[in-house]
Structure 1
């Protein structure tokens, strides 16, 4: 179920990024001021109500799959690449894209076009997600580091990995803005569990040489 939700939300994230690209491209191409304002405003609404919750859920389920299975975060190059790309996308989406979209709505009302960088950024976001999908299928580059097999989390962890983002999406739609609070709590709990599991027991710690 966690893999299913990760795939569904990732496809949704890419689809909404393409929708933003299309709307912003229309806002730049049209000479009609009303269409420009409508297209830019719709892009902002899609970003807030759809893209952001889907992006949060996609990232969270991906992190949970890494934290709850033998794959880990840094044992394989392709997983590490996905992890880094996801972090960059989340940062860009939260701190750059959302603010720029809001500014573009105000600018469109004065007759200005959406910035080229904003249009290119949405295309780059969709392309990055498509590249991550390829990484998941091809699994290139081998292992980043060796080590024993990581333990798989119990079933309740993966149940929580599905329930938490769905609850957060519902809460976000009711509040009018994304709020991945429960997802963050579940992820932190699992990271703490994994850290404790990887600690050597007293019997495994070598005795000091005399």
Structure 2
């Protein structure tokens, strides 16, 4: 994590943010959050599913509503995909499960019971470190951009073609991203202390200690 990443998180970016993040496939990809308004969008939740980076243990409580809205955007995007593949039995099954489990997690603001909903599907099954491992950079970027958009129109033929070979991995990432977010909020995180959110403190230098005991 760089000093710039820490400053961004201190400024309201989610604790999973990295300007550049490493995916499970070993690729380095630009984070879908490019400005503060993007914290409301679904792209960064999807990125959690693809990323190898652990989150910072602290988050900005002032942005909690925006972070929850991002999870809601994931649900809306999944519902859009659900409509597009409603007549394809194999894909419909996993999409229905993805929509149902994300709706449950967002409704209860908890990951509890998610494994029951997804049982018998690829969602939340197996080693999470394999999510997206088969995807190349253009495919990852396409998926992140798609989830970052505000759209409710019918899926285009071009988008259907691009989703064809990657849909299952994208669904795995989306569901795992929401799952991980609610797990983080309820079990793994702490709010950033109010004094650290003071603008006078935020503009002071940040020093990071490297593994050899020196400062960076």
TM-score w.r.t. structure 1 length? 0.32
Which of the two has greater strand per residue?
Answer: 2
TM-score w.r.t. structure 2 length? 0.31
Which of the two has greater helix per residue?
Answer: 1
